[in-house]
Amino acid sequence: MDRAERQVLTRLAREFYRPAAPRELAQELELALHLVEKALASLCARGVLKRGEEGYCFNPGADLIAGYFQTHPRGYGFVHTGDDRQYYVPPGTARGAGDGDIVLAEVQAREPGKAPLVQITDILHRRQRYLVGQFRAGSGLGSVQDGTRKILIPVRAARGAREGAGVVVAVSGYEGRVVCTLPDEDLGRLDLLNIAARRGILPLFPPAVEEEAARLAAQDLGRREDMRDMAVVTVDGQDVWDLDDGFSLFRLENGNWLLGVHVADVAHYVAGGSALDREALRRSFSVYLLDREIPMLPARLSRDLCSLLPGRERPAVSCLVELTPAGQVVSFRFAETVICSRARLTYQQAAEGRCGPWQQLIAAAMQLAGALAQRRRQRGAAYIALPATAIVLDAAGRPLAMGPRRWDAAREMVEEFMILANELAAEYLHQRGMAFLHRGNAGFHPGRGEEVNAFIARWGYKLQYPPPARELQQFLDRLQGRPEMVPVSRKLARCLQKSRYSAAPLGHYNLALERYTHFSSPIRRYSDLFVQRQIKAAVRGVQAPELARELPRAAELCSYKERLVQDVEGECLEQKKLEYLEARPGEIFAATVADTTPGGPWVMLDNTAEGMVVAGSRSKLQEYVPGDRVQIKVHKLDYRAKQAYFALAGVDSGQE
């Protein structure tokens, strides 16, 4: 493969993927047009690329593919291509590729219902490597520890970092340069920030982005509907300050409710194509590392100008819905508004009824949210409930407590209102004939019906596969309170396709909707900012063709970044789960057997940790079946693979 072919593939495989014409590629790559045309002809002849309506793009049926490589702590990885496909890379076959590298790979095998297996053959482009750690000063050379190796930092590249300071380092080989010094309060979170930095997610913004944000000021609110007299409140977590949604609610004369879902107008400040917009698209999401956030937008926007802080006038995009007391939508509209939040309430305050003068409003809102949830169930929506994890860290980053995240009526209330606003945003754009950013999933993976039914048959169940959402929910209702609920829910969740973004309608299996989108969190998700721009165009009666052109690229990138962010957040959780277990040697934990494997039972602890029971007599381990309750203790922990191994209580942990 010649240099021009490598450059063309690298360009088409980048994050900001879109089909491209030869002349455009030649300009971007600074290559002669005839070289680009020759490279394209060669790649098309080999089946790697094809010519589409908008230019050259990857051929989904090709046996030679190029895309982003994404690693997993357990050794395997995936190559993600621009058409939102993923290919499996087995452990030990990455050939030195790291997270974010653009690689060339050959398809080795294809099986229905599984990601095609590939072998990496070449690395087309290496992503800049970053790490986060503590700076150690030396005579002429500083250093930061990177696992078992030391990254050396010349004095000229240390940017004045002091001994023991937390630093972000750009790495090249065994040398590095300090990009920035972190505040002292981050010293107890360096391990979490390092997990993110290794995936290219940094806690700082480029200077041009910070400068653009600093120049922003409260702008003229223009011709907006004045809703400053409306009683808008926000309900969110205690430590959350990027308040991008609030609601209002009052009774109409006909006995119906007028619900307002008011969303911060981020697009009012972030212009398409600006430095802020490009960086927001590159990040696509705010990232939550337990109690530390890496925001999508600089603090000037996320915690100030765009945040719906109490007593501050803010531009908003509002969804105004008339609802019957039973939760039926009578009418709705969207508007560009100006609002002023009256109160900032926390989930705990709302759930415990400690809302002061807003208690009556919250009580009515919870009742309406309950009606909306009931209508959603009647529509046939399904919800597979698996416990999320809450971990409390001390200042040094040590886990003090761990258990299932509390899910209360206040969170359910906010979720119901946001689901409704998102649903109506999709309907609003559909009614106006606009192509928009869809959010959804197609339900269960095909080809896994035998696996599911073989698993649930041990309890006498049989399920049509793939099950309609309504039948799935009825089945899940039958499991409530039964020992098999945890293992069956886990198995079903693992067979369900992940939600993603798309330029084409997907349908939303879980919500039982033909159309759905994300609109309600534009400070935290780029998808919502993109849809907000589309809503504003529709309100103004314009089609916004430039947004339609960017739609496929935004959908692909947001889906890719979502997977990346989920992996980072998940790895941080697993890291702290292992630390929590390590600090409690000999402690007995209660757990439920979730599955059986050749190596031993897989268990889910009541505190949400998971792992395999490997220590105990072979005959005893083979007696356990999914749903059984067991008492276990830690046997060993593998931090590299983020894996916990357990022993049965009463068994010597050295016995296997």
**What confidence tens digit (pLDDT) does each residue in 63-75 have?**
888 888 988 877 8
Is the pLDDT score of 338 beyond 90? yes
Residue 571 CA to residue 71 CA, distance in Å, equals 12
- CB-based contacts of 637: which residues, under 8 Å, 6+ apart? 578, 581, 582, 643, 644, 645
> What integer is the mean pLDDT of 172-194?
94
430 band by pLDDT with thresholds 50, 70 and 90 = very high
In degrees rounded to 5, what are phi and psi of residue 392?
-100, 125
Q: Is the pLDDT of residue 619 over 80?
A: no
Residue 653 has pLDDT above 50, yes or no: no
- Both tokens of 456, joined, read 């649930």
d(CA 520, CA 517): 9
56 SS3 class: strand
The answer to whether 306 touches 244, Cβ cutoff 8 Å, is: yes
Do 198 and 307 contact (CB within 8 A), yes or no?
Answer: no
What Å distances lie between residue 513 and 33, 331, 563, CA to CA?
47, 18, 23
The label of the residue with tokens 């931090």 reads: 639
pLDDT at residue 1, rounded to an integer:
79
Tell me the pairing of strands 166-172 and 149-154: unpaired
**CATH number for domain 3-121, candidates 2.60.40.1120, 2.40.50.140, 3.30.565.10, 3.40.190.170:** 2.40.50.140
What pTM did the predictor assign?
A: 0.88
Instruction: Check residues 501 and 598 and name the one with the higher pLDDT.
Output: 501
DSSP 492-547: HHHHBPPPEEESS---BTTTTBS-----S-TTTBHHHHHHHHHHHHHHTT---HHH
3-state secondary structure of 581: helix
- Say which CATH superfamily domain 584-648 falls into: Nucleic acid-binding proteins (2.40.50.140)
Ranked by mean pLDDT, which of 19-23, 126-130, 616-620, 652-656 comes out on top?
A: 126-130
Classify the phi-psi angles of 253: left when phi > 0, otherwise alpha if psi is within -120 to 50, otherwise beta: alpha
All structural domains of the chain with their residue ranges: 3-121, 129-210, 214-438+510-571, 444-496, 584-648
Give the pLDDT confidence score for residue 27 in this predicted structure. Answer: 87
Q: Are 314 and 264 in contact (CB under 8 A)?
A: yes
Higher pLDDT, 534 or 387: 534
Q: How far apart are CA 610 and CA 634, in angstroms?
A: 11
Q: Which of 98, 117, 95 has its CA nearest to residue 106?
A: 117
Average pLDDT over residues 554-583: 94
Q: For residue range 435-493, list pLDDT tens digits in order.
A: 999 999 999 988 888 999 999 999 999 999 999 999 999 999 999 989 899 899 999 99
Q: Is the pLDDT of residue 239 over 90?
A: no
pLDDT for residue 655: 42
What pLDDT is attached to residue 15? 58
What would you report as the CA-atom Rg of the chain, rounded to the nearest whole angstrom?
Answer: 26
Q: How much is the mean pLDDT over the chain?
A: 92
- Tens-digit pLDDT profile for residues 262-274: 999 999 999 999 9
Q: What percentage of the chain carries pLDDT values higher than 90?
A: 74
Question: Fold match between 3-121 and 584-648?
Answer: yes
Cα angle 480-484-486, degrees, rounded to a multiple of 5: 75
pLDDT band at residue 358 using 50, 70 and 90 as cut-offs: very high
Among 9-23, 313-327, 626-640, the least confident range: 9-23
Q: What is the mean pLDDT of residues 530-536?
A: 98
Is the domain defined by 129-210 classed in CATH 1.10.287?
A: no
Q: Write the DSSP assignment of 232-244 as a string of letters.
A: EEEEE-TT-----
Whether 16 shows a pLDDT value over 60: the answer reads no
Strand 245-251 and strand 141-146: pairing? unpaired
What average pLDDT score do residues 80-88 get? 79
Q: Is the pLDDT of residue 143 over 50?
A: yes
Does residue 386 have a pLDDT over 90?
Answer: no
DSSP state of 301: I
Q: What is the pLDDT of residue 83?
A: 64
What does residue 108 show for φ and ψ, rounded to 5 degrees?
A: -100, -35
pLDDT for residue 117 is more than 60: yes
**pLDDT confidence tier of residue 132, bands split at 50, 70 and 90:** very high
User: For residue 103, how many other CB atoms are within 10 A of its CB?
Assistant: 28
Rounded Cα–Cα distance for residues 370 and 416 (Å):
8
Q: Given this model, what pLDDT does residue 165 score?
A: 97
| Confidence at residue 317, expressed as pLDDT on a 0 to 100 scale | 98
Neighbours of 215 (CB within 10 A): 8
